[in-house]
Amino acid sequence: MFELTGKTAVVTGGGSGIGQAIALLFARQGAEVAVLDLNEEGAAQTVRDIESSGGKGRFHRCDVSSAENVREVFGAVAQVHILVNSAGVSHIGPLDTTTEADFDRVFRVNVKGVFNTMQAALPKMQANGGGVILNLASVAATVGIADRFAYSMTKGAVLSMTLSVARDYLDQGIRCNCISPGRVHTPFVDDFLRKNYPGQEREMFEKLSKAQPIGRMGTPAEMASLALYLCSDEAGFVTGTDYPIDGGFTHLR
């Protein structure tokens, strides 16, 4: 089950965190993985890890917020059977402290970036007779979370784009879903704690972990497992759906 042999998967944000875990797992399941990221060091390491395990991977430096750069990168990828949009940036703050520059920065990556890559992948999927798109949304798309105004806005847009694409290309064999993680332990979390709570990292980590009813943060590997199912043929009846994977955060708080 969940075999991806013979398929090419493009994973944005594959140089770290959830995107990296997805790229590694997809490669283990037989996919040839194109790892897109601005983080050259992290993405190169992802590809090395893929190849050391006998898989096939290739790194493409890509700024997803640039339509021109995205078109150039996708032009170098012969086929696209699977697209996973994991690249993203965060912003902390409510409406009144969010500057226009903050808003534009998060929008360019989290919304325009998803638009750019889906638009670039679409003709290749149409030529293949179908494909799968998986977008990374967030519980912030559907749940009010304090101090996440701009970030929540972008993830709500990702959810809406997912539903629209699923509807418009249903008859062309293209499935489109999204997953909405709760808090996941990634390098972003560790950097956030170091910058904002020096000397209190362990205490704050425990506090953030317990915000999930299940009592801990998720892991990138757990996100990757759900991504694998949704991008596999076993999920052939699944499209236009948002999957919370949040330790009970959405419904059990």
* 243 carries an active-site annotation: no
Does residue 50 sit within a domain?
yes
Is the same domain home to 204 and 224? no
> How many structural domains does the chain have?
2
In this structure, the answer to whether residues 65 and 122 fall within a common structural domain is yes
Please check whether residue 252 lies inside any domain of the structure.
Answer: no
pTM of the full predicted structure? Answer: 0.96
Mean pLDDT to the nearest integer, 77-97: 96
Annotated catalytic residue, options 151, 169, 197, 229: 151
Mean pLDDT (the chain, rounded): 97
Structure tokens that stand for 204 in this block? 């704050």
> What tens digit of pLDDT does each residue of 41-86 get?
999 999 999 999 999 999 999 999 999 999 999 999 999 999 999 9
CA distance 172 to 90: 34
pLDDT on residue 237: 98
Percent of the chain with pLDDT over 90: 96
Same domain, 99 and 192: no
Same domain, yes or no: 143 and 203: no
**pLDDT category of residue 192 using cuts at 50, 70 and 90:** confident
Task: Answer yes or no: do 178 and 194 share one domain.
Answer: no
Instruction: List, for residues 20-29, the tens digit of each pLDDT value.
Output: 999 999 999 9
Q: Give the pLDDT of residue 188.
A: 85
